[in-house]
C-alpha cells in the first residue's frame, strides 16, 4: 500500500533555532501534501496544503514565515519551523492523497519539543 515516511519521529531543539521535518511518499507520487498539527488529546488541525512546484496554501491563523513549507518534488515535502519557541512544541503530521478513491496516507508524525 501507499506509504508516507516522516522524519524525524521526535526532535528536541533550543528556542530560537529552526527544525526541518521531512515527508516522503515512497511508492506513489504525492502531488498534494497536507500538514497538520495536533495538541495532546485534541484533533488534527490543518496548517497548510502544499502542491508540488507551487506555493503552499496556509490556513487562517497559521504564520507563513514561521512554518515554511517546500514541496519541490512529487515525493518530498518539508516543513521547517523557524525560530522555534516553546509554544511551537506539538505533534506534527503530514498526509498525502493517494488519488485512489479518495484515500489518504499519513506519516507517522513528529513530536517537536522546544526547550
d(CA 79, CA 7): 11
| Residue 70 touches another protein, criterion: CB under 8 A | no
- Part of the chain binding another protein (CB under 8 A), chosen from 20-28, 65-73, 82-90, 102-110: 102-110
User: What order of strands is seen across the sheet that includes strand 4-7?
Assistant: 4-7, 19-25, 76-81, 67-73
**Contact criterion met (CB below 8 Å) for 11 and 79:** no
- Write out the three cell numbers for 100: 485512489
| Closest CA relative to residue 103, chosen from 47, 37, 18, 28 | 28
The answer to whether residues 30 and 96 touch, using CB atoms and an 8 Å cutoff, is yes
Least Å distance between CB 10 and another protein?
Answer: 11
The answer to whether residue 11 forms part of the interface with another protein (CB under 8 A) is no
Contact track, another protein, 19-58, x by CB under 8 A: -------------x-x---x--xxxx-x--x---------
Among 14, 65, 101, 115, binds another protein (CB under 8 A): 101
Q: Interface residues with another protein (CB under 8 A)?
A: 32, 34, 38, 41-44, 46, 49, 91, 93, 95, 97, 101-104, 106, 108-109
Amino acid at each position: 500500500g501507499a506509504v508516507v515516511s516522516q522524519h524525524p519521529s521526535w526532535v528536541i531543539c533550543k528556542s530560537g533555532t529552526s527544525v526541518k521535518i521531512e515527508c516522503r511518499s515512497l511508492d506513489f507520487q504525492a502531488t498534494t501534501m497536507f500538514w497538520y498539527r495536533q495538541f495532546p488529546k485534541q484533533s488534527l488541525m490543518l496548517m497548510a496544503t502544499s502542491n508540488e512546484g507551487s506555493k503552499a496554501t496556509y490556513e487562517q491563523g497559521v504564520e507563513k514565515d514561521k512554518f515554511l513549507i517546500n514541496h519541490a518534488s512529487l515525493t518530498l515535502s518539508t516543513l521547517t519551523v523557524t525560530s522555534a519557541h516553546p509554544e511551537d512544541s506539538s505533534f506534527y503530521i503530514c498526509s498525502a492523497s493517494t488519488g485512489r478513491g479518495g484515500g489518504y496516507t499519513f506519516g507517522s508524525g513528529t513530536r517537536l519539543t522546544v526547550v
